């Protein structure tokens, strides 16, 4: 019989798939471009990986006691991972979300049994109503409360150093030459990047994809619409020594590529995936057939059906000229 003891044991070991159509313009000397598909994790994103490792570490250190409550500000994906691990191990969850997060994502957290508190985005982080302030207060005031803090928890990058990085190295037989990923907390790029650099003796090039406006690509923290990536501060989980290059990508390009991935590659993925692929293709243009580029796709497109995959929403934000399906299709192809 082949089965896992619990859904938690299904986290990780995600597949690599070649991108065939969106790479067509690269011509016969194109590098091999492989996508690491993280939406096949049980919670639907790469964040399942850090959830289980952060909980393991907190159980070991005693920070999380039996029957305790996990309190975390999260834009959704980390929450889903934590909610799954928590229910399997008998913890409660309270998540704090900014109001720009889609209702669908919030309902997913509630479906797993978590409590969700929604806070305004348009206030200063120091404001008592901000999602940082509210989560600090709830973590302090909740009996048995523990805040994983994915932005400073070393188990976040460590989980990628111990799982995602070695998987990519083994799956490519050590032939990977370039790794491209978006950065939010920076856990993925820091952990995977460090592992691949060490395994290859410094040869693997690590490229961060970043929304225009985010600090990682020299921005001021001005708003952008791609979710889960970019920051207006430098988290301690982001190791500034790892990335060789940061490529800034605009929302319009990110969303157009996200739609192409669904339509042309059969990959229904989120906006940060489109962003990472845009950056990956810019890098791929200067590579040759001897190179192997791996781009990580963090989550599924199902959480964005009423945004990126909604023609009217796209038109409202000016990413396409009309809310007419055909025009949108032509513009985005
Ligand atoms: N994309 C999405 C959709 C995410 O939720 C996250 C996590 N914030 C990332 C990318 C970036 O991952 P990391 O936090 O490891 O930098």
Indicate whether 163 pLDDT > 50. yes
Cα(112) to centroid of ligand 1, in Å? 20
Nearest residue to 259 via CA among 329, 175, 163: 329
Residue of 46, 154, 276 to mutate, ligand 1, most atoms within 8 A of C-beta? 46
pLDDT for residue 98: 84
pLDDT for residue 150: 95
pLDDT for residue 321: 59
Higher confidence at residue 327 or residue 97? 97
Question: Has the ipTM of the complex gone over 0.95?
Answer: yes
Report the pLDDT averaged over residues 281-296.
98
Give 210's strand partners: 248
For the whole model, what pTM was predicted? 0.93
Residue of 298, 302, 304, 307 to mutate, ligand 1, most atoms within 8 A of C-beta? 298
Indicate whether 333 pLDDT > 60. no
Indicate whether 254 pLDDT > 80. yes
> Confidence class of residue 153 from pLDDT cuts 50, 70 and 90?
very high
Report the pLDDT averaged over residues 71-83.
90
Rounded CA separation 237/47 (Å): 14
First to last CA, the chain: 45
Give 73's strand partners: 96
Report the pLDDT averaged over residues 134-162.
95
Indicate whether 179 pLDDT > 70. yes
Indicate whether 135 pLDDT > 90. no
**183 within ligand 1 shell (Cβ under 6 A):** yes
Lowest model confidence (mean pLDDT) among 49-53, 132-136, 176-180: 132-136
**184 within ligand 1 shell (Cβ under 6 A):** yes
Q: Whose CA is nearest to atom 1 of ligand 1?
A: 228
**77 within ligand 1 shell (Cβ under 6 A):** yes
Residue of 182, 195, 255 to mutate, ligand 1, most atoms within 8 A of C-beta? 182
Mean pLDDT score of the chain: 94
Contacts of 174 by beta carbon, 8 Å cutoff, 6+ apart: 199, 200
CA angle 212, 185, 240 (to 5 degrees): 80
Atom of ligand 1 nearest to the CA of 270: 3
Indicate whether 323 pLDDT > 50. no
Write out pLDDT tens, residues 90-99. Answer: 999 999 988 8
Can 307 be counted among the known catalytic residues? no
């Amino acid at each position: 019989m082949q089965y896992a003891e619990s859904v938690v044991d299904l986290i990780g070991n995600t597949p690599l798939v070649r991108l065939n159509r969106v790479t067509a313009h690269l011509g016969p000397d194109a590098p091999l471009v492989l996508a690491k598909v993280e939406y096949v994790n049980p919670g639907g994103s790469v964040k399942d990986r850090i959830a289980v490792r952060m909980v393991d570490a907190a159980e070991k250190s005693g920070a999380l006691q039996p029957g305790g409550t996990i309190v975390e500000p999260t834009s959704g994906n980390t929450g889903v991972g934590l909610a799954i691990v928590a229910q399997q191990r008998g913890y409660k969850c309270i998540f704090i979300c900014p109001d720009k997060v889609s209702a669908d994502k919030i309902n997913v957290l509630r479906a797993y049994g978590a409590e969700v508190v929604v806070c305004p985005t348009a206030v200063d982080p120091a404001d008592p109503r901000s999602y940082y302030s509210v989560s600090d207060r709830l973590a302090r005031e909740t009996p048995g409360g523990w805040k994983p803090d994915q932005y400073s928890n070393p188990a976040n990058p460590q989980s990628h150093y111990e799982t995602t990085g070695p998987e990519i190295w083994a799956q490519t037989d050590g032939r990977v030459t370039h790794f491209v990923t978006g950065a939010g907390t920076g856990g993925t790029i820091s952990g995977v990047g460090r592992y691949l650099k060490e395994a290859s003796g410094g040869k693997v090039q690590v490229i961060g994809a970043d929304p225009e406006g985010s600090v990682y690509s020299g921005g001021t923290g001005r708003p952008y619409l791609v979710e889960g990536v970019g920051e207006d501060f430098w988290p301690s989980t982001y190791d500034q020594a790892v990335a060789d290059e940061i490529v800034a990508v605009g929302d319009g390009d990110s969303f157009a590529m996200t739609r192409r991935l669904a339509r042309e590659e059969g990959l229904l993925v989120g906006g940060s995936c489109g962003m990472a692929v845009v950056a990956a293709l810019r890098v791929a243009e200067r590579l040759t057939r001897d190179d192997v580029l791996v781009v990580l796709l963090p989550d599924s497109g199902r959480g964005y059906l009423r945004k990126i995959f909604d023609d009217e929403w796209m038109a409202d934000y000016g990413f396409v000229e009309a809310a007419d399906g055909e025009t949108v299709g032509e513009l985005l192809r």
